[in-house]
């Protein structure tokens, strides 16, 4: 029975067409990911050599004045890409993966962007996640829309029912072959991706694979549901394509629009103005007031005192510090807004598998907004460490060559992925269950 059904399945033109298209797009999407990772890797390598060169030139130019040297010196902090980012590029092409900061006011530097062609960002990436979320459903629809209706239209269904065996069984067998085929193609895709992108086989990769399989299963459930509405092939095709259009193209756009408009992040503008003003105001205010604030933040430096007359680096760096310290309220308001955006997105997404899958994949691949915020926070910490290392040396007017500059190599940011499979897939599983359950229930009289 199975062999016959498989033969019949493999003889259809759609299968070859679907397979061909998938292979072509797989090659394209994997090479997109590879190219992305390679470019990032090359940039990281450049950053390392550039930083060394930069330190060498600057230290030779300003060797007598550490305060001035550190006004110019930039230190790199790199968000090391997970190879899974080649599968789900997510937001990692929009956001800068490399921070290049001086120990001055951080808030004026932290949000500087990388140089990316906005047209490319706008068109979006044809990465593996796009292939799975966007195009696999179409293949599934093409393979399944006339599973039952074709037999009815050709008159073969009656012959099956009068043969006495369970016709439901027959339908499930037909469906199972298609599920197996698509699962196998997806498996091949992941194997190819693993080798081309050098992805280690770990929990994250496994989670990503499981999420993808669940998503594929969701589309089979949708097809199963529509097939059992027992409409004509044409109607099935239209219903399925419309649901694809709504679920994959339209709803995500609508949800994003809703989230963006519900929480516009104007605080970013307010914050950026504030951090500038607060630093610059200090040039015109009493030095003691600035220094008092600085020493409240860093009591360990209070011993350096206040020098009322003329310029000193101590005072200068204290002023710079105030730009960060006194824009704290605005900054927190901005982060709160971003957090609200994320929460709302996640809340809505869990009920819509395409959205959920995209967000889950980005989370697993560390290419989500959450991860970017983590990176920004880690940058703050990185920056603070640098300040604490250099502040006392500057305040004591140490020489530039008392510092071991070789030690200052770019630092890689690594973080743990926090991803809960059950939390992320619960609603998707529930939706799949409801779709299959309700259609079996409705059609129970046909199946024995």
Partner 1 sequence: MKKQIILLIAKQFFKKTFFTKGLLVLLSCFLLVLVYITITGWNAFEQHDHAVEHHQESSRKSWEDNPDKHPHRMAHFGSFTFRLQHPLRIFDSGIESYTGNSIFLEAHKQNTANFSEASLSTGLIRFGDLNIALLLQLILPLIIFFLGYSAITAEKENGTLKIMYTQGATIKEILLGKSLGLFLVSTVFFLPCLLSLWSVSFLENHTVNGAIIIRSLLITISYVLFYIILCCITILISGKSANSNKALLTLLSIWLLFFIIVPKTAQVVGNAFHPNLSKIEFKAAIEAEIAKQGDSHNPNDPYFNSLRDSILKANNVTDVKDLPFNYSGFLMSKGEEQSATIYKSQHLKLIDSYRKQNSISKRLVLFNPYLAIKNISMSFSATDFDTYVSFLSQTEKYRYEQSQYMNNLQMKFISNKAKSSEGKVHVVGKENWKSLPTFNYKYITVIKTISNQLLSILTLCVWLLLTLFFMSKSANRFKII
Q: Which of residues 332-351 bind partner 1 (CB under 8 A)?
A: 338, 341-342, 345-346, 349
127, 29 contact by CB (below 8 A): yes
Task: Based on the shown chain and the rule CB under 8 A, indicate whether residue 250 belongs to the binding site for partner 1.
Answer: yes
Stretch that binds partner 1, among 88-96, 200-208, 298-306, 320-328 (CB under 8 A): 88-96
224, 439 contact by CB (below 8 A): yes
Stretch that binds partner 1, among 132-140, 219-227, 298-306, 380-388 (CB under 8 A): 132-140
Nearer to partner 1, 4 or 115 (CB): 115
Task: Based on the shown chain and the rule CB under 8 A, indicate whether residue 86 belongs to the binding site for partner 1.
Answer: no
**What is the total residue count of the chain?**
448
Nearer to partner 1, 69 or 425 (CB): 69
Beta bridge partners of 100: 76
Q: What residues from 400 to 419 belong to the interface with partner 1 (CB under 8 A)?
A: none
Q: Minimum distance from CB of 116 to partner 1 (Å)?
A: 8
Return d(Cα 7, Cα 250) in angstroms, integer.
37
Q: What residues from 281 to 340 belong to the interface with partner 1 (CB under 8 A)?
A: 283-284, 310-311, 338
Stretch that binds partner 1, among 121-129, 180-188, 206-214, 218-226 (CB under 8 A): 121-129
Task: Based on the shown chain and the rule CB under 8 A, indicate whether residue 5 belongs to the binding site for partner 1.
Answer: no
The token pair at 95 is 């956001």
Return d(Cα 78, Cα 98) in angstroms, integer.
5
Q: Minimum distance from CB of 320 to partner 1 (Å)?
A: 11
Alpha helices in 155-245 (DSSP H): 156-162, 167-196, 203-227, 233-244
Q: Minimum distance from CB of 398 to partner 1 (Å)?
A: 21
Return d(Cα 420, Cα 394) in angstroms, integer.
46
Q: Rounded to the nearest 10 degrees, what angle do helices 136-144 and 13-61 cross at?
A: 180
Task: Based on the shown chain and the rule CB under 8 A, indicate whether residue 272 belongs to the binding site for partner 1.
Answer: yes
Q: What residues from 346 to 385 belong to the interface with partner 1 (CB under 8 A)?
A: 346, 349, 355, 358-359, 362, 367-369, 372
Q: Minimum distance from CB of 249 to partner 1 (Å)?
A: 7
Q: SS3 breakdown of the chain: % helix, strand, coil, rounded to 5?
A: 75, 5, 25
Task: Based on the shown chain and the rule CB under 8 A, indicate whether residue 264 belongs to the binding site for partner 1.
Answer: yes
Q: Minimum distance from CB of 169 to partner 1 (Å)?
A: 28
Beta bridge partners of 77: 99, 411
Stretch that binds partner 1, among 166-174, 193-201, 247-255, 288-296 (CB under 8 A): 247-255
Adjacency order of strands within the sheet including 75-79: 98-101, 75-79, 411-413
Nearer to partner 1, 95 or 321 (CB): 95
Task: Find the Cα–Cα–Cα–Cα dihedral 49, 50, 53, 59, rounded to 10°.
Answer: -130
Nearer to partner 1, 207 or 341 (CB): 341
Return d(Cα 67, Cα 317) in angstroms, integer.
9
Nearer to partner 1, 121 or 191 (CB): 121
**Dmax over Cα atoms in the chain, in whole Å?**
104
């Amino acid at each position: 029975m199975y062999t016959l059904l498989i033969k019949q399945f493999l003889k259809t033109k759609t299968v070859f067409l679907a397979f061909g298209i998938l292979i072509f797009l797989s090659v394209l999407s994997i090479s997109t990911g590879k190219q992305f990772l390679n470019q990032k890797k090359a940039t990281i390598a450049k950053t390392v050599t550039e930083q060394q060169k930069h330190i060498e030139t600057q230290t030779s130019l300003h060797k007598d004045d550490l305060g001035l040297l550190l006004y110019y010196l930039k230190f790199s902090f790199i968000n090391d890409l997970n190879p899974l980012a080649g599968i789900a590029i997510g937001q990692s092409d929009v956001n800068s993966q490399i921070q290049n900061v001086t120990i001055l006011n951080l808030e004026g530097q932290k949000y500087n962007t990388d140089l990316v062609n906005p047209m490319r960002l706008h068109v979006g990436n044809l990465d593996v996640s796009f292939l799975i979320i966007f195009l696999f459903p179409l293949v599934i629809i093409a393979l399944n829309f006339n599973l039952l209706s074709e037999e009815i239209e050709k008159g073969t269904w009656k012959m099956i029912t009068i043969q006495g065996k369970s016709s439901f069984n027959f339908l499930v067998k037909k469906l199972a072959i298609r599920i197996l085929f698509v699962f196998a193609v997806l498996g091949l895709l992941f194997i190819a991706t693993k080798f081309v992108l050098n992805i280690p086989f770990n929990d994250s990769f496994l989670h990503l694979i499981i999420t993808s399989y669940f998503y594929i299963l969701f589309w089979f459930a949708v097809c199963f549901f529509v097939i059992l509405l027992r409409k004509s092939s044409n109607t099935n095709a239209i219903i399925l394509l419309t649901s694809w259009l709504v679920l994959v193209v339209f709803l995500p756009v609508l949800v994003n629009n809703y989230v963006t408009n519900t929480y516009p992040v104007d605080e970013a503008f307010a914050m950026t103005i504030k951090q500038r003003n607060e630093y610059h105001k200090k040039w015109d205010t009493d030095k003691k007031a600035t220094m008092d604030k600085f020493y409240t933040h860093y009591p360990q430096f209070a011993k350096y005192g206040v020098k009322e007359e003329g310029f000193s680096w101590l005072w200068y760096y204290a002023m710079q510090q105030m730009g960060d310290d006194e824009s704290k309220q605005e900054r927190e308001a901005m982060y709160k807004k971003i957090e609200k955006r994320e929460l709302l997105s996640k809340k809505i997404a869990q009920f819509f598998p395409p959205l959920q899958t995209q967000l889950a994949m980005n989370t697993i691949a560390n290419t989500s907004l959450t991860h970017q915020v983590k990176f920004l926070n880690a940058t703050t910490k990185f920056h603070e460490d640098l300040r604490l290392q250099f502040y006392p040396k500057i305040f004591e007017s140490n020489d530039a060559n008392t510092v071991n500059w070789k030690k200052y190599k770019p630092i890689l940011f690594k973080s743990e992925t926090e991803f809960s499979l059950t939390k992320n897939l619960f609603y998707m599983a529930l939706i799949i269950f409801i779709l299959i359950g309700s259609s079996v229930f409705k059609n129970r009289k046909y199946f024995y």
